[in-house]
Every structure is written in structure tokens, then in C-alpha cells.
Structure 1
Amino acid sequence: MNFDPDLTRRLLAAGADPNDGESLYHSLDNPVCTPLLLEAGAVVGGTNALFRCLDLDDIGTFKLLLSHAVGAEDLKGGRLLLWAIRRRRSPAHVEALLAAGVDPAARTKDGVSAYVQALRYGLPEVAAILEGEGDNAELDDEDLFVAACARGDAEAARLIGARRPDLPGALGEARLRMLPELAAAGCTGPAMLMADLGWPIDIEGGDWRASVLNQAVFRGDATLARHLLGRGAAWTEKHGYGDNVCGTLSWASLNRPVEDGDWVACAEALVEYGMPRAERDPQHPEHVVVAGTRRQFSEDVTAFLLGEDQSGVSG
């Protein structure tokens, strides 16, 4: 998408509608045009722009949107607060939401308070803000255990586990889903700790109902992927779109959803733990075949899976 502020100014001056239902939302991926749209009268409420901005770590743009969202339906209740927690946004984001009138006593569909949810997502500073707003319910051992894992506190988690040896097995599904949720958020250390403590590593979670290994490979997190494979995770694990970890490697290596992902190292780990290498597809030169399925990967991942160097020479 072209983010051109000069062109945006000319279009707005010529009568383009800033409330076309798309421009404000999509401007947030590179918000050079966002202020221009707001100045031209773009309405924030009902566009999901606030939610989209919470997918991104841009407190300045988020505060700008809030300043133009007074009275918006999006600010009623606590959906934005819960989304900010799920996206592991900063205390500053949460303070801005509370100042805008969002309800600090919000609860999830399962009845979990925003305070407890912040602890589950490894956000003790955010939890402290919400506790100060009056939500200070006493935590049970299960939430204390999840909170310790989520912040990567191995000592505290093991102390709780010593008096509750049924953990993590006794946790309900919502708490167990925190493993893939945290992996999806890039929390490598906590996810590794959870796997070490016996978390079921095939539990699915995150936006696309994927196992923690799928989440790790999606992000190109080879450290976490190798750790999980060493504890029994398998490349054949499915995700919500019906494919497996090899498919995740394919999509992620081509689209690179995070800047610092290492999908070659992920491929190396997957092959070391049983995923077959690739063969060339004579019918489709741009594709390879892995375990009978036609796939396409980035050039560097393809070269590794074929056992070639980057020049295409077999090693």
C-alpha cells in the first residue's frame, strides 16, 4: 500500500472522503497519513482503528486516535482494554485508555477480570495499574502459577508447583491456552518455561488456533521451536487453517511477519526432528514437494530443504 502524504493532501483537497471505511484503518500500518485523515474529519469510532492501533506498538498514534474518539462506542465497556492486554501493550497504553473512560473492571467472556488477565499475559505493571483502580481480587494457586510462568519467574512457578503437583495438568483450557498465546506474542522465555514445567504443548491458541510450535515457526523463533521439538512437539501439528507446521514455515518464510525471524534455522530444527527434506517438483519449478505435498518457501529455506547452497548447487 502506498502511504503518500502529499497525494493524500491533494485527494482530500479534491473532495475525497476520509470516512470511506478503509483509509483510516489501513493508514495505521505506516501512520504518516493518519493525522491528515483525522484533520479532514475522519471518524474513529466504528472503524476498528483503535483496535488495529493496539496491534502495533505506537503510543503516539494511539493517543492521537483517542483524542479524536471522545464518545465513541468503542470506548464503552472494556473490549479495548482487554485487547490491549492481549496484545501486551504498555502501561502507557492502558493509562491512556483509562483516561479516555474505558472501564477498568472489564471482564472476558469467561468472567476473568482485566487485572487477572494482565497477570496471565505477563504484565505485572499493567496489573498494578488495574489493581489501583479497585480490581484486587485474591488470586488462587492456579492463577499465581500461570502469572509466574507468564513473567518467566521459574523459581516462583516451581514453588507453587511443589505444593500443587497437579499443575499445570489441572489448569482449565483458558489457562492452558496461555502457552500458544504467549508464544504468539513473542514471549520466548515464558513459553520455554511452560514447556519445561509440563504444559501440554499441543494445546491450540492465538488468533489462528495454532499450537505453540506453529506459533514459534510463524515468528521464525528457532530457539523456541527447537526447545519445543526437544520436548515432543511435532511438525505434523495442525493449526486453525487446516495445515501443519510445514505449511506455517512456507507462509512465514515467504511473508516474513516479523522483522528478525530466522526461518532457515526453524527449517533446520524441523528437519533434525523428523520433517522430511524437500524434492523438486518437475511440473512446477517454483515449488518443491515435502512429504507428498507441494509447497513454496523462501529461496534460502528452499535451498536448505533441498540440500543446496544458495547458488543451487547440491551439497
Structure 2
Amino acid sequence: MPVHQLPGNPSLERLRKQAKSLRRDARAGMPHALGLVAEFHPRPPASLTLSDAQLVTARMYGFTSWPRLKQHLDTIRRYSRSPHQVGAGGELADEFLRLACLTYGTDVPGRTRQADLMLGTHPRLAAANVFTMAATGSYDALGDLLTEEPDLAVRQGGPFAWEPLLYLSYARLRAPGRWVESARLLLECGADPDSGYLWEGLTSPFTALTGAFGGGEHDEPAHPQALELARLLLRSGADPNDSQTLYNRGLGDEVFTDDTTHLELLLEHGLGGGDGGPWRARLGPALQSPRQLLRDELSTAALRGGPNRARLLLAHGVEADSIGAHPVYGGHTPYRLALRHGHAEVAEVLASAGASTTPDTTDAFAAACMRADADAVAALGPEPLARALTTTPELINYAAEHRNAAAVRLLAELGFDVNHLLHCTPLHEAVWNDDVETARTLIELGADPRIKDTEHDSSVLGWARFGGKRQVEAILRGLTP
């Protein structure tokens, strides 16, 4: 039974309206509604009542009943936070914390440095309250306070309504602090090693472990004592099946590296096993199983080019032909992903581990293009090229994303559009990587710097300025008004 994805930050009122629409459409004999009833109702009735429609709605999102779905929405409401939307202007201690911590929405370069300046001007901020003590790693002051009031270790407060352990793990300050020792104090006083929140209600919890490792779509820095802090949290009982950590350090990492440090630590403490911990107990089917997290990690290694990650995951029993659940994998096996994205070493690692290695002509064509092997492309004949131009025009976007200027040039010569708009153009990809060679190649081949992406409605120059991509910005400045 395929399950639909519940929208981010879901509204109970919107789901009620959806159930009412389903009842109306089913009674009117609409095929799509009747299909949903047949698929998701355990005993499809002749005439759909509202409670029947609510049951179908719940089951299509993976919940056994409407009350279970409502319970899930209550959980989201309880843990949802939007730290990136908290504005300036609060009390001095709150403003310091707002600037000192990663928020995954306002983490522009230099923002946390403002907190350092505030601390230099107002050193007493470090001991203003339990939250600033945690953020600054003020071990002695924190110890004195918790001796008097140990319950403060689990109290929520500050600008983001977080527990102290979250301010500690998401703070990014230059001034040295005794963060690991301070975290141990909090844990000894009852702080939850799995403490976390749901960013804007999205069902991938941002835990203390997530904060320690950092990473993400804007290359957010890790905590100054990341490994020691993460190790302490895991030894204290934090569940290693941390979906947001895996996303931030893998699929969602702005600058992907084949570093396996975080994976080794998580695997050492049981990543891929167990029941998924307290967050999966709270969120149920909205959170992937531990085993599926590992399958997605192998697909990420194939998609983004991580042979070391692939070896590590295969050594821990991940199936070579496993399928990642995220839509970006397109339902392809890791081997096919590696071929299509030009990661020959990953493909060899997977083949050695027993992956199915009979590529179709589309895969062979993509692999040859990503190797910039014009002779191999020609040897395949005209049919794969004609098919690829129709079915996979985004190959040139992938080549740009992977800093493969030679493949970009070959694909353009074969007729691929240098301005192909996937969610952005190949030039956007090169700009975000600050990849001068690929950007120059695309511009030479006719890329239009005025085209805007579909998500942010921004030109490549806007991307360069927002991301601080100074090298390509210098090239673009003279090309766009």
C-alpha cells in the first residue's frame, strides 16, 4: 500500500477539508476519489460517510486511524519551532542567544560573529541565565546554578523556547568554552540527550546531535567540540538514527565531502538498528525506519560521489541494490545513480559488492558523457542521444553541479541546452559551487545569466551575492545589469 507524504507543518483544518472533499467526490463517483477509497479503506462502504473519509485520509498518510493522525498533529504542534523567524529586539540575553545559535534560515556569513562582539562588550552575558551559560560553555557558573536549581536543566526558554542543551549544541562562538563538561552537567541533572525540535513543523527533528554535527544547505559549521559533544550525547543515550544529521552531512550538505567521521561514530553506536528511538515513537511513519536511513545514505554516496562512504555502508550490511526513499534518487539503484552522475569509483565499489551491473543504454550514455568520453558516446549511436535529449535533459545540470566542465562542454556540443531550467540552470549550479572553470565554460557556450531559478526567483548574480561566492561574482558582475 503506497503511502502519501504528509505536507510539512500540516493543518488539522486543512485535512478535515480534504476528507470532506473526498466524501463529496466519492459520492459523485469521481474516479480518483473512488480509487483512494478502494485502496485505503479496509472495508469500502457503498456510501462514504465523513468518518469513512477521515479514515481513508489518515490511512493514505500512513496512520491507522483519524485519532492517530490527530495525535501526530498534536505532536508536531508541541515540538514545532521557527528559530529563523524570531526577530531582533528582545532582552539583551535573548538577542545574544538569537545571534549566537544556528537557526537554519538566517545563518548568513558573519551573523554569529555579532554575538561574539556582544559578549566582548557585555561579558556578564555569559552568566545571565541557564541558557547563556549553556551556549557559552560557562561550566563553573552553570554548576553553581544547577546545584541550587537542578530543574533548570530541562526548562525551556530563551528566544527559541529551547532547552539549555539545544542552545549549547547550536551555539557557534569563537570564545573558548567548556561545552562538553557543561553538557555533562546538564545531562546529569536530567537533560534529555534526544532533546530537539521540529523546524517549522517538518518531521525530521533537529536534535542536540544535529546541532553538534552542523552542516546543511548553507554549509553551517560544526560545533567547536563536535565529536566530543556528539560522543557524549550518544553515550548518554541519544539515538544514533538521526535523520537530520544524516541529511545535513550528506544529501543536503552544500559542499559534499567524502568524510565518514560522523557516519563512523553513528554506526559505532547503532545507526541502522533499533526502533528509531523516542522521535520515531512520537512521529511514527512520518520518520524513516533505521534501515531505510542507511539505504538512503548509500544512495547519497552514489548520487554525490562518496566512495569511502559507500565502502563503509556496504561493510555494515547495506544492500548494494537498495533503493533510497527520497524523491531525488528517482527510484534508481545506487549503481545506476553513480553511472548517471559520473561517479565511476562509486560504481566500481558497488559492483564489487554485488550490485546489479547491467546498465541500459541510457545509463551507458550518461556515464560516457560524465566521463567526457566523446568516442564512447559516438559508439553508442544516435538513438541514446535522441532519447536522452528528450528524457534526461538535466544531465547538463548534473555535470555543472559536479564541477565537471569537460562534461558540460561535451553535452552542449551534443545539443543539450546550457540554459536548461530544472529548479535552476547549470550556471546557477556552477555559481553556487564558486566554480570558475565551469561558470566560464557555460558562459562561453551561451548560458544566460539573467534567467531566474524557480524556488527563489533569483538570477545567478543574486545567488553569488547571497552565498558570498566572490570568485564567480567578479565574473558575473560585468555580464548582468
* Superposition TM-score, scaled by structure 1 size: 0.72
Give the 3-state SS of the residue equivalent to 2:387 in structure 1.
coil
Query: In the superposition, relative to structure 1, how do residues 156 and 200 fare at CA in structure 2: closer, same or farther (>3 Å)?
Result: same
Q: Indicate the residue corresponding to 2:477 in structure 1.
A: 267
What's the CA shift for 1:66? 1.9
Point out the structure with the larger helix share.
2
Q: Say whether 1:64 aligns with 2:265.
A: yes
% identity of equivalent residues: 25
More divergent stretch after superposition (103-112 vs 126-135): 103-112
Q: Indicate the residue corresponding to 2:284 in structure 1.
A: none
What's the CA shift for 1:241? 1.7
Of 291, 294, 297, the match for 1:75: 291
Give the 3-state SS of the residue equivalent to 2:320 in structure 1.
coil
Of 9, 16, 28, the match for 2:181: 9
Q: Distance in 1 between matches of 2:248 and 2:290?
A: 12
Q: Distance in 2 between matches of 1:210 and 1:188?
A: 17
Give the aligned residue type for 2:433: R
Residues 270-311 of structure 1 deviation map (CA, whole Å, 9 limit, x = unaligned): x1xxx33xxxxxxxxxxxxxxxxxxxxxxxxxxxxxxxxxxx
Of 18, 22, 25, the match for 2:193: 18
Q: Give the superposed CA RMSD.
A: 2.7
Give the aligned residue type for 1:235: P
Consecutive unaligned residues in structure 2, runs of 5 or more: 1-170, 197-206, 214-220, 275-288
Q: Distance in 2 between matches of 1:266 and 1:119?
A: 32
Q: Say whether 1:30 aligns with 2:222.
A: yes
Of 88, 97, 119, the match for 2:313: 97
What's the CA shift for 1:70? 4.5
Query: In the superposition, relative to structure 1, how do residues 35 and 177 fare at CA in structure 2: closer, same or farther (>3 Å)?
Result: farther
Q: Distance in 2 between matches of 1:114 and 1:38?
A: 30
CA contact (8 A) 1:12 1:18 kept: no
Residues 211-257 of structure 1 deviation map (CA, whole Å, 9 limit, x = unaligned): 10111222232332232233332123231224242xx3234234336
Query: In the superposition, relative to structure 1, how do residues 118 and 124 fare at CA in structure 2: closer, same or farther (>3 Å)?
Result: same
CA contact (8 A) 1:51 1:83 kept: no
What's the CA shift for 1:5? 6.4
Give the aligned residue type for 1:24: L
Q: Say whether 1:50 aligns with 2:242.
A: no
Of 102, 106, 115, the match for 2:322: 106
Q: Indicate the residue corresponding to 1:290 in structure 2.
A: none
Q: Indicate the residue corresponding to 1:279 in structure 2.
A: none
Q: Distance in 2 between matches of 1:14 and 1:66?
A: 25
Q: Distance in 1 between matches of 2:309 and 2:301?
A: 7
Consecutive unaligned residues in structure 1, runs of 5 or more: 277-315
What's the CA shift for 1:182? 3.1
What's the CA shift for 1:169? 3.8
CA contact (8 A) 2:180 2:232 kept: no
Residues 2-39 of structure 1 deviation map (CA, whole Å, 9 limit, x = unaligned): 16662242133233433222332232232532332332
Q: Distance in 2 between matches of 1:12 and 1:105?
A: 41
CA contact (8 A) 2:432 2:464 kept: yes
Q: Indicate the residue corresponding to 1:153 in structure 2.
A: 373
What's the CA shift for 1:186? 2.5
Q: Say whether 1:135 aligns with 2:343.
A: no
Q: Distance in 1 between matches of 2:229 and 2:305?
A: 28
Q: Indicate the residue corresponding to 1:232 in structure 2.
A: 446
Q: Distance in 2 between matches of 1:186 and 1:138?
A: 27
